[in-house]
């Protein structure tokens, strides 16, 4: 008898691999859409409040950072991949928002100091959100 024999139970059928991949893609798409909606709500709350950091009122209004939701069809490796995807995706989107706010503050409007203050508050807000998302999705 050969020393190394593939066991039939260890082989995963091609059809099962396709199902597993679809489940992972659905979980990623679900997280992406929930995170984008949350980010839009957060942006609206910041614009309304003018806060330079996520306040309790803002967090209460929009909720906490969305978490990836693993289904029972995902294996351990896929769950780890989904969490990694969620963290990098979330941080990247927030970083883009922060950069937009920073660029807006780089064009100072000396005729409107209130607008300059609002832009700086937005840049500070997105910096704080970036740290919050990074810590929440670890």
Per-residue pLDDT tens listing for the chain (138 residues): 455 555 554 555 666 666 678 889 999 999 999 999 999 999 999 888 888 889 998 888 999 999 998 888 888 899 999 999 999 999 999 999 999 888 888 776 667 778 788 888 888 999 999 999 999 998
Give the pLDDT confidence score for residue 133 in this predicted structure.
93
Is 12 part of a structural domain of the chain?
no
Give the pLDDT confidence score for residue 11 in this predicted structure.
54
* Structural domain harbouring 85: 17-63+73-136
Is 8 part of a structural domain of the chain?
no
Own/partner pairs for 86-89, CB < 8 Å, 24+ apart?
Answer: 86/31, 86/35, 86/137, 87/134, 87/137, 87/138, 89/31, 89/32, 89/35
DSSP assignment string, 113-136: HHHHHHHHHHHHHHHHHHHHHHHH
Give the pLDDT confidence score for residue 15 in this predicted structure.
63
Instruction: Tell me which residue of 85, 104, 99 sits closest to 129, measured CA to CA.
Output: 99
Q: Rounded distance, CA 24 to CA 74, Å?
A: 7
Is 93 part of a structural domain of the chain?
yes
Overall number of domains in the chain = 1
Is 90 part of a structural domain of the chain?
yes
Is 4 part of a structural domain of the chain?
no
Is 40 part of a structural domain of the chain?
yes
Is 36 part of a structural domain of the chain?
yes
Give the pLDDT confidence score for residue 42 in this predicted structure.
93
Is 118 part of a structural domain of the chain?
yes
Predicted TM-score (pTM) of this structure: 0.77
Q: Rounded distance, CA 17 to CA 119, Å?
A: 48
Q: Rounded distance, CA 90 to CA 105, Å?
A: 23
């Amino acid at each position: 008898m050969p020393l190394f024999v593939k066991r039939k139970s260890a082989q995963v059928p091609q059809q099962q691999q396709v199902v597993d991949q679809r489940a992972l893609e659905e979980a990623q798409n679900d997280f992406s859409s929930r995170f984008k909606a949350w980010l839009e709500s957060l942006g609206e709350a910041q614009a309304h409040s003018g806060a330079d950091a996520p306040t309790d009122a803002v967090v209460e209004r929009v909720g906490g950072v969305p978490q990836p939701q693993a289904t029972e069809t995902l294996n351990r490796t896929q769950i780890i991949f989904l969490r990694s995807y969620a963290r990098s995706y979330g941080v990247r989107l927030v970083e883009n928002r922060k950069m937009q706010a920073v660029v807006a503050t780089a064009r100072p409007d000396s005729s409107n100091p209130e607008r300059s203050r609002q832009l700086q508050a937005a840049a500070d807000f997105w910096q704080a959100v970036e740290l919050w998302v990074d810590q929440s999705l670890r």
